[in-house]
Amino acid sequence: MTAQTTPRRPISFREQFLRRKPVVLKPVHREGEELARNLSTFQLMMFGVGATVGTGIFFVLGEAVPKAGPAVLISFVVAAIAAGLSALCYAELASAIPVSGSTYSYAYHAFGEGAAVFISGCVILEYGVSTSAVAVGWSGYFNELTHSLIGWQLPHALSVSPIPDLSGTEPGLINLPAVVLVLLCMVLLLRGATESATVNAIMVLIKLGVLVLFAVIGFSAFKADHFANFFGSGFAGVSAAAGTIFFSFIGLDAVATAGEEVKNPQKALPRAIIGALIIVSTIYLAVAAAGLAAKPPAYFAGPEMGEAGLAHILKEVTGNSFWSTVLAAGAVISIFSVTLVTLYGQTRIFFAIGRDGLVPRRFTHVHPRRMTPTFNTTVVAIAIAVVAGLVPADYLWDTVSIGTLMAFSVVAIGVIVMRRTHADLERPFKVPGYPVVPILTVLVCAYILYGLAPVTWIIFGVWTAIVLGFYLLWGRHHATLNTYTSDDEIAEPSGRRREDEATR
Amino acid sequence: MSLLVGFSPHKDDHCAIDLACQLARSGGDDVTAVTVVPQGWPTPVAGATDREFERWAAEEGGACAEEARALLARHPDVASSSVWRAGRSVPQTLLTESTRLAARAVVIGSGPSGPHGAITITSKGERLLHSSPVAVALAPRGYRAGTDARITRADVAFRGDDASWSLLDRAAAVAREAGASLRLLTLAVRNRPMYPALVPGGEDMVFQRWVEQAEAAQAEAIDHLGSIGFAPEELEGVVATGRRWDEAFDQLEWTSGDLLVVGSSSSSIERLSHVFLGSSASKVVRHSPVPVLVVPPGRAG
């Protein structure tokens, strides 16, 4: 099928809301410069571990344990299953529609403009708000580190947000370290800095190292009493905690999108996704179990866990600050890289949205010398810095989870819809166990979504209304699909060569 | 107007002289080769050793100037002269001399240590590039130009920013004088992707837009050049990219009359009107297989 030319006649709002973007692929690589299919399954698995570990585990226990008690271990398993299933569905959609720009773009191609706008709101939560959340978490470890290294830390007013959080910490003025971290990452991105595969590998080792350290020391203080009344919080507690924890598994989808770089995606992708998931879950479970082994569930609700929680537990278990300082240092270094990578992701998603004309075109302007989208990066980073400076993390985590779960549910439904509407589309990777896996994905996501707090739903509703409002007032009138005259204008850069790639 | 050649003695340095004569032939200039020899101590009363040193320097200078003169004689159609000067710093003496002669460019070679056919910026060249108020032309090592060689095409390193636009007019002036055609080159190394790449194709998307912008800027520049009198067949634009600089350069074809014109950095904090190579420009210079003319910003060629 070839992409059709523009409908020149005025179209109704309903048509516009439902219209899909045609898939037009244009190779951007010269002959011989295409992506080499040279990743092994193991490398891909490690890639997934690296992209996943670290986003949430350093902060999430203080949020999740109070909700579920010792059964938080079950919540971890539930969140892991949801993440694994979602990643499989995500992999199929990514291989069927090989375009840039993540879930947002898949939705535009598979469901139409309205769904794409809804999803764009979700992915801004997945990337943008998670950058803020990670920066806030970093701030806690940063203060812990300066405190234990030089006995000084920023005054309370400058390290806590002005909005009161749920655990009753006294509000401050601004979370300055979080703001500074985001702005530093902005400067790096503006200059075109990227994190190389080697640096990424080092960061992964640091993260894994300090988490294993925590687990070992935590278990040394094992008290079985802490696991008493295991299901005290009931299933509601388990699902609520799973919602918060889900945030820690974001990044696993990165494996799904790397399908182009392996020789046999049908075999390699599920192995890599499930392998990475098992490794990540094992580490998370070990950390959670070690935390519970060392401290009673009630401890996790206290202010001690609010900032640099894992470091505080280590300090209390060992009685000195050496190991907690090591952990804080590891967290400060590795979470910095997580912030950089997620901020980068958010700018590129905005870039994709800007390309479609749904946000102003300036977001796609690339600096001629630095070859980076400077306006985009500056605006996105400042917005994220403002959120990081003003909003406490408890509100952010669940918001990230709801956005991501929504996006993943849409992806899973998308797999089913695409199988029906585009049965003959080439799919280098197909979900095993269709249709059970996508249906199960939707069910698990729905279960976790159901457990999220009403306030999270309200935030999500307001945010979605803002996004849709902006679309109705502005984006609708400026969409590229309104005016494009040739396929070149909407062509997607493609790293792989395939005949007959266009579809609609 | 004249061109000044920095001649290094005893290094069989014909490259700079060949390039200078080629440029002079194209622009109707004369060429002055300058050899710099060490200056004696400025003592009030020169001792015997000082005098001996001065004598040696004068002999040396004379011999070198003669060597340069012989090389210049291979280009009989170009008006040329060869002199020697005593000075404590070669680049500084060349600059003083270029001011005195009101030279419009200083031409230097690549020294004997770099790879053949490539431009190596020597320590003296580096200093010259940092402080010259006039354009600096660099010849690749082993560069040869025949007795009728001219500049037939000026390649402008152009990337669509403000500095490129001001460079464009000066490169156009160079091309106009030489009767050469103009080729706009936008050269770049692709940004490396971020690991882990959470957004598939994120960097490809940005890169594709960058190429589109570069092509649009070239088209605009070609329109502008057309409006100031260049014929369409004299104008060309190429965007060449690669994962490394040499890959980007590998995509270009070159002829023996090519002269690559690059602008010096506009963000030089020292003296804004001076030549100073930015990071991309210096990469371009080091990878260029043809002679390069580095021009300072904001001053007519």
Tell me the shortest Cα–Cα distance from B210 to chain A, in angstroms: 6
> What pLDDT is attached to residue A165?
78
Residue B85 near residue B34, CB atoms below 8 Å: yes
Q: Residue A368: its chain B contacts at CB < 8 A?
A: 159-161, 164, 210, 213-214, 217
Per-residue confidence at A255, pLDDT binned at 50, 70, 90?
confident
pLDDT tens digit sequence for A91-124: 898 888 888 878 898 899 888 999 999 999 999 9
Calculate the dihedral angle through the C-alpha atoms of B275, B281, B287, B292, rounding to the nearest 10 degrees: -40
Residue A181 near residue A135, CB atoms below 8 Å: yes
pLDDT tens digit sequence for A423-463: 888 888 899 888 999 999 999 999 999 989 899 999 999 99
Q: Does B197 touch chain A (CB under 8 A)?
A: yes
More confident of the two residues B278 and A387: A387
Q: Residue B280: its chain A contacts at CB < 8 A?
A: 369
As for the ipTM of the complex, it is 0.86
Interface probe, candidates A189, A349, A371, chain B, greatest B C-beta count within 10 A: A371
> What pLDDT is attached to residue A174?
93
Q: Residue A348: its chain B contacts at CB < 8 A?
A: 199, 202-203, 205-206
Structure tokens at B209: 């837009």
**Between the ranges A193-207, A245-259, B7-21, B93-107, where is the mean pLDDT highest?**
B93-107
Average pLDDT, chain A: 87
DSSP A366-429: --TTT-S-HHHHHHHHHHHHHHHHHS-HHHHHHHHHHHHHHHHHHHHHHHHHHHHHTTTS--SS
- Residues 200-239 of chain B with CB under 8 A from chain A are 200-211, 213-214, 217
* A100·B201 Cβ contact <8 A: yes
pLDDT tens digit sequence for B120-163: 988 888 888 888 888 999 999 999 998 889 999 999 999 888 88
* A254·B196 Cβ contact <8 A: yes
> What pLDDT is attached to residue B47?
80
DSSP B64-121: HHHHHHHHHTT-TTS-EEEEEEEES-HHHHHHHHHHHTT-SEEEE---SSS-TTS---
Nearest neighbour of B205 by CB, restricted to A348, A365, A369: A348
Per-residue pLDDT for A35 more than 60? no
Q: Residue B198: its chain A contacts at CB < 8 A?
A: 51, 102, 127, 251, 253-254, 341-342, 344-345
Rounded CA separation B225/B180 (Å): 13
pLDDT tens digit sequence for B201-257: 788 889 889 999 999 999 999 999 999 889 988 999 999 988 888 888 999 999 999
Rounded CA separation B187/A182 (Å): 31
Find the mean pLDDT for residues A241-261: 84
pLDDT tens digit sequence for A395-420: 898 899 999 999 999 999 999 988 99
Q: Does B157 touch chain A (CB under 8 A)?
A: no
Rounded CA separation A83/A251 (Å): 9
Find the mean pLDDT for residues A209-221: 93
Per-residue pLDDT for A2 more than 60? no
Per-residue pLDDT for A483 more than 90? no
> What pLDDT is attached to residue A497?
39
Percent of chain B with pLDDT over 90: 47
Per-residue confidence at A379, pLDDT binned at 50, 70, 90?
very high
Nearest neighbour of B194 by CB, restricted to A50, A344, A351: A344
Find the mean pLDDT for residues A155-161: 88
Per-residue pLDDT for B188 more than 50? yes
Nearest neighbour of A349 by CB, restricted to B190, B196, B199: B199
Residue A333 near residue A210, CB atoms below 8 Å: no
Rounded CA separation A128/A400 (Å): 9
Minimal-distance CA residue of chain B relative to A488: B212
Nearest neighbour of B214 by CB, restricted to A192, A251, A368: A368
